A and B are shown apart, each in its own frame.
Chain A
Amino acid sequence: MKLPDKKGYFGVFGGKFVPETLMSLLDELTKVYYSLAKDKNFKKEFEFYLKEYAGRPTNLYFAKRLSQHFKNLKIYLKREDLLHTGAHKINNTLGQILVAKKMGKTRIIAETGAGQHGVATATVCALMGLKCEIYMGSEDIERQSLNVYRMNLLGAKVIPVESGSKTLKDAMNEAIRDWVTNVNNTFYLIGSVAGPHPYPVMVRDFQSVIGKEARAQFMKKEGRLPDALVACVGGGSNSMGLFHQFFNDKSVKMIGVEAAGFGLNSKKHAATLKRGSIGVLHGSKENILQTADGQIEIAHSIAAGLDYPGVGPEHSYYQSIKRAEYVSVTDNEALEGLKLLSETEGIIPALESSHAIAYLNKLSRKVKGKKSVIVCLSGRGDKDVSTIKEII
């Protein structure tokens, strides 16, 4: 069975919960996207930019000293941090900007949390000569001032969002309000496998290059499939990008690592899959953090890119059918992960990706015998240095 179904559902998750003004546009986008997905020229153009501009394929790097540290894990890092702009986000923005151009849209808007998606969007807009406006929570602007400056350098306008929690979810609300208003000329470039259909499937497809490459690279190096995949989950685009290609490889365990913030019982976390419940946020039915009255709760994570009270519907589906397992690590554990990778491999990971690294510690204690693992190193830590400096 191919998912999502015609209505954009992965099991009971997904769908299109948006104001009527956006419905015709989403229908058009769905039609355009599905036809482009089959179009050889579009595929060629997308692959050209991934290779020549973003720097694909990324290495699948055997982390020898990190593996030695754990003894029972053979760890490979999928080096998305080496891509242009420093994270996997560029895979998706290149794909969507090409779709936007085919649809004749002249103005691009996006939301951003950590700023990585904002930078990746501003980058492709500069590349294609399109007008770009990025919504960003004012709290995130403070946490990620370097990325704000980057977006400005790239010619984008960063619009501070002061409503609600002043983070990613509110930036997304504000972007949707803009979209509803300027629907005729504006393309909303969503940064994760979230939002209304067809965004979750479109973003997943553009990010699937991670898993496609990793699978082939691992086969070439090891002559077999890995035992496990580990990736952090906020909205869930790097993890879905890695996981999706392994869906039918039943022997491969998929582990998504959510942000436990100050701890799962602290009420200050972003563990939507572990601790959330089914609901509707930003256009799709998925696991969300909500109060007893169905109001959206404010998420917390030290990693701005994981600080989101929802998660892509396909992850909710993977969890519901037990295809993937979702775990969590705290802010402090993530910082330990960051230090560990920096000191053992000379690679400073983004705070988001540090969650995946940190989980290896727990995994190592859990597994029997020696296991091989691919970890998605979704981004580099340069953007986080000032945040980390304040804490460590």
Chain B
Amino acid sequence: MKNRIENKFQELKKNKAKAFIAFITAGFPNLSATEKLIYALDSAGADIIELGVPFSDPLADGPTIQSASYLALKNGTNLKKIFEVVKKARAKTEVPIALMTYYNPVFHYGEELFIRDCVKCGVDGVIIPDLPPEEATTLISLARKNNIATVFFVSPTTSVKRMRFAAQKATGFIYYVSTTGVTGERRNLAKNIFDNVRKIKQLTHKPVCVGFGISNSSQAKEILKVADGVIVGSAIIKKIAENKTCPNLNEKVKKFVFTFKKEIK
């Protein structure tokens, strides 16, 4: 069977469409809400869902995702429970799901068991911001054998040599970090995004998606002139935080995702 993330990009390419990738923190505001949010994002047209596995020390995240992670951990969220949610969701949806987390929870869980549970529960890819490809040898080889995508990062400070390295090691897509810094909404886009994405695309045929700091649909539209997809995280988390006690939480999030989908089609 082909990987759902790779299938999705093939399908998008055929339709000359771009990917909208939605990030949510699993367990925020709680795990049953997470399951419902997966369905909501799917029906709103999110092409891929990044499910954040909360970590106590999220050093690549800004305040929005930090506080979502903190609350999720307080709720008792852990990898095992997140796998169960994905497994349950797989009965109802084929939307590609990637887990985004830090390395220690995965390392402590055991990389072999982690990949096995990804396969068992229907997780399609892993994204670990503090695991550069040179430290990921074990994880990459386990993931390859099991058809799980390993997404790696390129940032504004990445040399061409490292770009080539990341492009070679990444499967699923390449994650271009729009700016130096942590996750979180930004008013302005960095100017060098376009040049850098073009540079990466000259080195590889793999899809390049841009994340960090994208907070509205016009920014997304701008970026998609060069990139194959955009990743929106903090802006969605903020929407969830604002409406977390609201009975219409899913509708509100759906509506927010629609604003992006409308612009980028």
Is A279's beta carbon under 8 Å from chain B?
yes
Cβ contacts under 8 Å, B60 to chain A: 19, 177, 180
Given A7-B134, A279-B104, A294 and B109 contact (CB-CB distance below 8 Å): yes
B155 lies within 8 A of A21 (CB)? yes
Range for the number of chain B residues in contact with chain A:
35 or more
Q: CA of A279 to CA of B104 in the docked complex: distance in angstroms?
A: 6
Interface size of A by CB at 8 A reads: 36
Binds B, one of A76-84, A181-189, A198-206: A181-189
Cβ contacts under 8 Å, B129 to chain A: 19-20
Query: How far, in Å, is B106 (CB) from chain A's closest CB?
Result: 8
A163 lies within 8 A of B66 (CB)? yes
Cβ contacts under 8 Å, A176 to chain B: 59
- In A270-304, the 8 Å CB interface with B consists of 277, 279-283, 288, 290, 293-296
A293 lies within 8 A of B78 (CB)? yes
- In B100-145, the 8 Å CB interface with A consists of 102-109, 129-132, 134-135
- In A282-332, the 8 Å CB interface with B consists of 282-283, 288, 290, 293-296
Q: CA of A293 to CA of B79 in the docked complex: distance in angstroms?
A: 7
Query: How far, in Å, is B110 (CB) from chain A's closest CB?
Result: 10
Query: How far, in Å, is A266 (CB) from chain B's closest CB?
Result: 20
Query: How far, in Å, is A177 (CB) from chain B's closest CB?
Result: 5
Cβ contacts under 8 Å, A283 to chain B: 130
Query: How far, in Å, is A281 (CB) from chain B's closest CB?
Result: 7
Cβ contacts under 8 Å, B158 to chain A: 20-21, 23-24
B181 lies within 8 A of A181 (CB)? yes
- In A35-67, the 8 Å CB interface with B consists of none
- In B26-75, the 8 Å CB interface with A consists of 55-60, 62, 66, 70, 73
10 contacts between A and B (CB under 8 A): A7-B134, A16-B134, A17-B135, A19-B60, A19-B155, A20-B154, A20-B155, A24-B162, A180-B181, A279-B107
Known A22-B157, A164-B70, A280-B104; further 19 A-B contacts with Cβ < 8 A: A16-B132, A16-B134, A19-B155, A20-B129, A20-B132, A20-B155, A20-B157, A177-B182, A180-B181, A183-B180, A184-B157, A280-B130, A283-B130, A288-B104, A290-B108, A293-B78, A294-B104, A295-B73, A295-B105
